[in-house]
Amino acid sequence: MSMPNFTIWLDRAPQILSSVVVLFVCATSIGESKSEVDLPPDLMERYEVLIAELRCPKCLNINIADSNAPIATDLRMVVKNQLQEGKTNSEIKAFLRDRYGDFIDYNPPLTPATLVLWAIPVVLLICAALTFTYIGSRREKVELSDEEKARLQRLKVQGPS
């Protein structure tokens, strides 16, 4: 019984080896991202949330957690230092928005420009509702004459002839 099992393992050696390599690479990269800063667990949790929500000003559409740009590293340090100084999340975000603009925040505050984004879906929904009510009201207006009603009745009973 043990021999066939052994050959199966041998046949699959390349797959097993590559899985081990992939797992190893993943494990080390996770280790690396954690080792950059050393914070107590509660601050670490907020740190990870913040760097995921802050956008790298240098690169297009990537947060400062994932960016390798030097400025992203600097901003991660800013976040870390301010967390250690006891600043709140919103204070840290306000500090960076003050310097880099609303662009830096993936969760931007409500301004006239962002209000448009919030309003568009609502406006579209209202338009759709109005359109459907309009179409619906048109349909109801079609009324059959007595002659047509009689014909419809005949068709219902006898089927088309």
Partner 1 sequence: MVSHKRNVAPLRMALWLPLVAFVGLCIVFFASLEFSPRSELPSPLIDRPVPTFSLPELQSVSVMTSDDLPEEAFLLNVWATWCFPCREEHPVLMDIAAEGIAIVGLSYKDDDSKAIDWLNSIGDPYRLNLVDRDGEFGVDLGVYGVPATYLIDSERTIRYKHIGPISSSQWRQKLAPIFKSLQAVDEHA
CA distance 73 to 83: 15
* 100 lies in the site for partner 1, by CB under 8 A: yes
CB of 140 to partner 1, least distance (A): 11
* 141 lies in the site for partner 1, by CB under 8 A: yes
Q: Which residue has the tokens 């050959």?
A: 7
CA distance 66 to 55: 10
Task: Select the residue interacting with partner 1 from 135, 140, 156, 160 (CB under 8 A).
Answer: 135
Number of residues near partner 1 (by CB under 8 A): 19
CB of 119 to partner 1, least distance (A): 17
Comparing C-alpha atoms, which of 37, 111, 116, 109 is closest to residue 79? 37
Q: Which two tokens stand for residue 155?
A: 């068709």
CA distance 28 to 25: 5
String marking each residue 1-40 x if it binds partner 1 according to CB under 8 A? ----------------------------------------
CA distance 39 to 75: 16
Q: Which is nearer to partner 1, 36 or 74 (CB)?
A: 74
* Residues contributing to the site for partner 1 (CB under 8 A): 57-58, 60, 69-71, 74-75, 78, 97-101, 103, 135, 138, 141-142
